[in-house]
Amino acid sequence: MAKYRAWLGVILVLTIASVVVITKIPTRLGLDLRGGSQLTIQVQPTAAIPTITERELEAVQTVVEGRVNGLGVSEAVVQQLGNNQLLVQLPGVSDPQQAERVLGGTAQLEFRAQRPGTDQQLQIENQVLQGHLGELAALQASRPSNGEINSDTQARIDKLQAEITASEKAVAALFEPSTLGGDKLTDAIARPTSGTLWEVVIQFNSEGGNEFAEISKAIAGTGRTIGIFLDNRLLSAPTVAVQYAETGITGGSAVISGNFTAESARDLEIQLRGGALPLPVEVVENRTVGPTLGRDSIQRSLYAGIAGLGLVLVFMAIYYRLPGVLADIALIIYALITWAAFNLLGVTLTLPGIAGFILSIGMAVDANVLIFERTREELQAGKTLYRSVESGFYRAFSSILDGNVTTLISCLALFYFGAGLVKGFALTLAIGVIISMFTALTCTRTLMFLAISLPQFRRPSLFCPGLTTARPDPVRS
């Protein structure tokens, strides 16, 4: 019995830990439950670039990320999907129309000369902008892990966002319009110079080279800068040395140097390359759910889950008596551990995911049903209570294992091939199946053997109603 007492301790600790995890780490909810937009963006190949490679997709991703940041949606996610798509998640986006408009379309990269006499203004505007960006980053970073923030902070974030947009506009206004766009940029490469410093080499086609020579000639030595804008946001503003005042930077290529680290040089490189890509992006899928609908779904799922759990609990207790009650306890422990596992592993719960969880409640008792049916058979065959319970567990095991493995195979196939929502279902069901193997075997087993070690529970009629042939059990514990 000492073995089972130890197990009981483990189970208790696990249960308490699960409750702590559930209360401390909030559940991550999918966009269909908390409200928001999920967009799939397809990168369209063009005559010039007939196939999209990893390199191009990465470049487009940075462009899209830049646009997403401009939307001011917190916790937005941009992921690569397959080899020519991007998945953008915008939780709680207030204007899905605007979002969809901003994210589509080809990147706008421009090289623009700074207007004369704006040096001081640029410096001030830039400082203001950096200040706002810094504060915003700090606010985002201090956000609690569940994403819930109070309304004051949210108001501040919204205000900052508006001010950043205004600042960016103000900065852009300090530069002259230009025809030198990303379509004339052929490449951008980050490379190390001396020591730990890096620089970025840019290359234009012949037309772009000429235009760049003119722009650089105009500002060389004046202290004014060339503004490199991506979607109207200033990426970099290098000056041009006085020695180019005569001819400009000719030859179609230039080096941007400065205080680049390997990382910042690489960032600029990818942004420039993304801006240079004449690849149109198109929103091919949009799933938007309003927050009220999401809340409604959560509530309905909660009712369904509680009702489902309740029905199973009642059925098990009535049909299987004492073992049924013990299985019910194991089932509740199962639900707690599984929920905690979702929170701990950071599983994003979607609506189908919740359905998978509710379904797994019904499936979780399957192992117990198998065991208890087997125990009854053994009792009816005249075995002692202890032996019957023992062989019930032993003999049912191979069926339990086979059954769960086949379910896991389906989950794996779903997870591998399925898209977003489908993956959520497969993941929750799989986690549920694995945890149910533990609770249905270990928890129920421990509880059962502890129960039959107590004389008042050692009556076969508690295990199998209508049993007449069984002898009272001379249990040794």
Among 118, 373, 453, 475, binds other proteins (CB under 8 A): 373
Nearer to other proteins, 124 or 303 (CB): 303
Q: Whole-number minimum distance, CB 123 to other proteins, in Å?
A: 38
Give me the residues paired with residue 202 across strands. Answer: 188, 254
Question: Among 139, 218, 235, 312, which residue sits at the site for other proteins (rule: CB under 8 A)?
Answer: 312
**Stretch binding other proteins (CB under 8 A), from 108-116, 177-185, 209-217, 395-403:** 395-403
Using CB under 8 A, which of 6, 241, 405, 454 touches other proteins?
405
Told to check if 88 binds other proteins by CB under 8 A, we report no
Residue 17 token pair: 């830990």
Applying CB under 8 A, among 23, 53, 79, 97 the residue interacting with other proteins is: 97
- Taking CB under 8 A as the criterion, which residues in 423-462 touch other proteins? 425-426, 429
Residues 35 to 54: which contact other proteins by CB under 8 A? 35, 37, 40, 42
Q: Is the dihedral of CA 261, 262, 268, 272 positive or negative?
A: positive
Residues 185 to 224 in contact with other proteins, rule: CB under 8 A: none
Cβ–Cβ under 8 Å, residues 301 and 214 = no
Indicate which single residue of 58, 75, 263, 402 sits in contact with other proteins (rule: CB under 8 A).
402
Binding-residue pattern over the window 325 to 364 for other proteins, x denoting contact by CB under 8 A:
--------------------------xx--x--xx-xxx-
Minimal distance, residue 361 CB to other proteins, in Å: 5
Let me know if 362 is exposed, middle or buried by CB neighbors in 10 A (0-12, 13-18, 19+): middle
**Do the beta carbons of residue 176 and residue 226 sit within 8 Å?**
no
- Sign, Cα dihedral of 408, 410, 413, 414: negative
The Cα angle at residue 101 between residues 83 and 351, in degrees rounded to 5: 65
199 in Cβ contact with 211 (< 8 Å): no
Least spacing, CB of residue 326 vs other proteins, in Å: 15
- Only one of the segments 70-78, 107-115, 178-186, 410-418 lies at the binding site for other proteins (rule: CB under 8 A); that segment is 410-418
Cβ proximity of 272 and 109 under 8 Å = yes
- Binding of other proteins by 477 (CB under 8 A): no
Applying CB under 8 A, does 412 fall inside the site for other proteins? yes
Buried b (16+ CB within 10 A) or exposed e, 232-265: ebbbbbbbbeeebeeebbeebebebeeebeeeeb
CB 88 within 8 A of CB 78: yes
Residues 280-309 close enough to bind other proteins by CB under 8 A:
282-293, 296-297, 300-301, 303-305, 307-309
